[in-house]
Structure 1
Amino acid sequence: MPKLKTRRSAAKRFRKTGSGKIMRRHAFKNHLLQHKSPKRKRQLSNPALVDERDAENVRLMLPYL
């Protein structure tokens, strides 16, 4: 069997937790921040879990995660 290639773009965006779930960053935290409230920006800084319906697609992109 040949080795499977990892999708490098996905490898830079996702990481695995200790329990095997997949973490992601929040969107909308890159620019145009001056009109967003401090609370909203602070909450966007925290990592989020990938939804279980999307997690299987991420796992296929990252075979060795």
Structure 2
Amino acid sequence: MPKNKTHKGAAKRIRVTGTGKLVAEHTNNQHKFEHKSSSRKRRISGTEVLSPADNSRMKKLLGL
């Protein structure tokens, strides 16, 4: 049986923490900051833990 291939698009966007959680960057945080409020920009900075509903699908894509 052939090896499973990692979904490279998902691998570039999602990483696994030491405890096994999946984290990703917030959306809407790349460009066009001029019209976004300061509070919104602060809220979308950094990373967030993926929801449990997405975990099984993302782990399959990452080959975990």
TM-score w.r.t. the length of structure 2 is 0.88
Cα deviation, residue 34, structure 1: 0.8
Q: Unpaired segments of 5 or more residues in structure 2?
A: none
Aligned sequence identity (%)? 39
The structure with the largest strand share of the pair is 2
Cα deviation, residue 39, structure 1: 2.1
Instruction: State the partner residue of 2:19.
Output: 19
Select between 47-56 and 33-42 the one with higher mean Cα deviation: 33-42
SS state at 1:20 partner: coil
Cα deviation, residue 51, structure 1: 0.5
Letter in 2 for 1:27: T
Instruction: State the partner residue of 2:62.
Output: 62
Could you list the structure 1 runs, at least 4 aligned residues long, displaced by more than 4 angstroms after superposition.
none
Task: Return the alpha-carbon distance in structure 2 between the equivalents of residues 46 and 12 of structure 1.
Answer: 16
Letter in 1 for 2:28: F
Q: Unpaired segments of 5 or more residues in structure 1?
A: none
CA RMSD in angstroms comes to 1.2
Cα deviation, residue 31, structure 1: 2.0
